[in-house]
Structure 1
Amino acid sequence: MPPSQPPARARDLGVLIGTLPTGPLNAITDVPGVRVGQTTIDDGADLHTGVTAIVPADYRGLPAAVAVGNGYGKLVGSTQVDELGVIETPILLTGTLSVFRVADALLTWLLDRDPAATSLNPVVGETNDGFLSDIRRRPITPEHVVAALDSASADLPAEGCAGAGTGTCALGFKAGIGTASRRLSNGGVLGVLVQANFSGTLTVLGTPIPATEAVGEPGGNSCMIVVATDLPLDARQLGRVARRAVFAMGRVGSDFAPGSGDYAIAFSTTRSAAFDEGELRGVFQATTEAVEEALLNSLTAAHSVTGYQGHTRYAVPHHLVTAASTQL
């Protein structure tokens, strides 16, 4: 068993991704108006799950798009986002079998705030945390959802074993929630939050770090990526951004297994879409850099967990990550 180690962000371990500068927090909450709230369920035994809420300040009708890498998953509300090119609600993440309870609770929260509403499209994504958590118990309650929504703040979100990432694993190690951001030369900000739970071989700056103790876990299990920006992108352009977010999973070693649901949702906090197509190159770079760093943060910030039926997933040893960063 690896020795215990304090959580750290990839940048703290010497891993510098790309060339663009980060925002002040290096988080999705660097995008003005974007807040994150989380509820964590961890009983120290069979339950390791939770809810993560991404809450734009004025979410009704924001330009948005969804990209699907592998469609083996449940992303509630995605078809209407595809059809209309907007989101109407906050974006929530949770465990697979709790996704419908979370969607219903989100709908109730929204109806309570809009007595005139007769049609709303809750957007809720998931990954399967059943290796470490008793997923059949579906422990998420409306109170957990409301707590995540009402606690949303512009602070640095907790990473690793927090919220919807409490029981997730990736690339043979314990993973969870990760976030990162990039500032562009035109003054815009792009931020990312991930729920990492997929298979492959962890790769840090091109150096593979195979997991030697990852046994008993099926391949796949999914990844949710949320991209936010204040740049005035329209839904079509955001679709291009979302696809690059999925592509970026390959930079950390995803094998894009057929049993994995890999999704990206990209939205803009600016409704007046008027972005020069020729400037998308920088946006794509910001996206791939931020997603790569967020995915690494989801791993380096996590701690080892023993959960359901005694299953254990260990945190990636930080000295291996640091060593990889020096091999360039």
Structure 2
Amino acid sequence: MRLCAGQSRVAGMPIGPSSRARDLGLAPGGGTPGPTNSIVDVPSVRVGQVSLHEGTRLHTGVTAIVPDTVDRAGGRLPAGLFVGNGYGKLVGATQLVELGEIETPILLTGTLSAFRAADALVSYVLALPGNERVESLNPVVGETNDGHLSDIRSRPITEEHVLEALRTATSAPVAQGCVGAGTGTAALGFKGGIGSASRQVDLGDRGSCTVGVLVQSNFSGTLTVAGVPIDAQEALGADADHAVPRGNSCMLVVAVDAGLDARQLRRVAARAVFGMARVGSDFAQGSGDYAIAFDVGAASDIPDTKLNPIFFAAQEATEEALLDSLFLATTTQGADGHVKHAVPLDFVIEKCAMAGVFDR
């Protein structure tokens, strides 16, 4: 683990309530991030989010990942899916695997709202100019279960929420933490959320590309930062919540602009799921862990022997995105008196300092 260039970290110094891992000197690996260190660093990829809060009853939302190519009539992009564990309701999965492509933006939301979100996504795409005669469409909607902090049975996501997320999608830096589809999620004993990171990749004689990752974290295990376990019980003491069911899922979306084909993209997606292990996922049987990778670049003939830099970047960006999804989240009180506390970053820094992380 290396400190970011020009930064230092001393145990005991004041730390804000939420910070990106990179700002704390805890960015994983030595790869170079893009300008915003998020998925929108991949050209022509935009993100839109809508967050819903209603007292302590509702904390949920929608996150839309919108590549320009599929935001117009007839648009398709090569894509691959890797399933770490299939305990989930990923709408559109079988056609994505069969044809190796996506033909709509990708939505993320809460489990029982996935089907309403899919219907709204179909309405959005059918209404695009030039799609007046379309009779078949494969919406792609991922989900995690935010029922610990939100009234999931009320299925609060409406068509208007989905349309707002799609229509406001932008290439501005991605909001992270308790936003969009991560508004009510929890992960590794703490409040989870949306996270995003990117890496610029040198492909040698093949040029360069960008790998961007966006995550919706909502899974169990022991948070691990730079190889140091951060036990929620020890970190939170009496505030630790033991009522969270094991599992509950993670959605990972990877964007690339290298011109990879669907088979290669499935291999990239697998590396994103592998990246979950770096932050301490226990891959519980009740966790639906899915990664979708798509490529916005012109088709190329990059051989598999040249894919290692992309594989490494996907794992590293996934790790950083997952850390940021927790580090930027805030304590949230939810339905039935449940509370999920943010990661105490001063505790993380102290533990990492004691383990010698900042001297490595």
Task: Pick the TM interval, shorter chain.
Answer: over 0.9
Q: Secondary structure at the match of 1:298?
A: helix
Do 2:196 and 2:212's aligned partners in 1 also have CA atoms closer than 8 Å? yes
Name the counterpart of 1:178: 195
Aligned partners of 2:337 and 2:300: how far apart in 1?
51
Q: Secondary structure at the match of 1:188?
A: strand
Name the counterpart of 2:140: 123
- Offset of residue 20 of structure 1: 1.1
Do 1:15 and 1:325's aligned partners in 2 also have CA atoms closer than 8 Å? no
Name the counterpart of 1:203: 224
Match of 2:154 among 120, 132, 137: 137
Do 2:215 and 2:325's aligned partners in 1 also have CA atoms closer than 8 Å? yes
Q: Secondary structure at the match of 1:321?
A: helix
Q: CA RMSD in A?
A: 1.3
- Kindly indicate whether residue 20 of structure 2 is the aligned counterpart of residue 9 of structure 1: yes
Give the TM-score of the pair, scaled to structure 2: 0.89
Match of 1:157 among 163, 167, 174: 174
Do 1:246 and 1:264's aligned partners in 2 also have CA atoms closer than 8 Å? yes
List alignment gaps of at least 5 residues for structure 2.
Answer: 1-14, 234-239
Aligned partners of 2:242 and 2:105: how far apart in 1?
36
Question: Mean alpha-carbon deviation: is it higher for 48-57 or for 12-21?
Answer: 12-21
Name the counterpart of 2:303: 276
Name the counterpart of 1:292: 319
Aligned partners of 1:325 and 1:83: how far apart in 2?
44
* C-alpha distance after superposition, 1:175-227 (max 9, x if no partner): 10000000011320000000000000000010000001031010000000000
Q: For 1:217-236, list aligned pairs within 5 A.
A: 217-236=244-263
Q: For 1:1-328, list aligned pairs within 5 A.
A: 5-59=16-70, 60-113=75-128, 114-186=131-203, 187-212=208-233, 213-326=240-353, 327-328=356-357
Give the TM-score of the pair, scaled to structure 1: 0.97
Runs of 4+ in structure 1 over 4 Å off: none
Task: Determine what percentage of the aligned residue pairs are the same residue.
Answer: 59
Q: Which amino acid aligns with 2:223?
A: L
- Offset of residue 153 of structure 1: 0.3
- Offset of residue 271 of structure 1: 4.3
- Offset of residue 45 of structure 1: 1.3
Aligned partners of 1:324 and 1:16: how far apart in 2?
16
- Offset of residue 129 of structure 1: 0.1
Q: How many residues are matched?
A: 326
Do 1:62 and 1:271's aligned partners in 2 also have CA atoms closer than 8 Å? no
- Offset of residue 57 of structure 1: 0.7
Question: Mean alpha-carbon deviation: is it higher for 260-269 or for 183-192?
Answer: 183-192
Q: Which amino acid aligns with 1:302?
A: A
Question: Mean alpha-carbon deviation: is it higher for 7-16 or for 106-115?
Answer: 7-16
| Pair 324,31 (structure 1): closer, same or farther in 2 beyond 3 Å | farther
* C-alpha distance after superposition, 1:129-177 (max 9, x if no partner): 0000000000000000000000000011110100000000000000100
Aligned partners of 2:271 and 2:316: how far apart in 1?
10
- Offset of residue 5 of structure 1: 5.0
List alignment gaps of at least 5 residues for structure 1.
Answer: none
Structure number with greater Rg is: 2
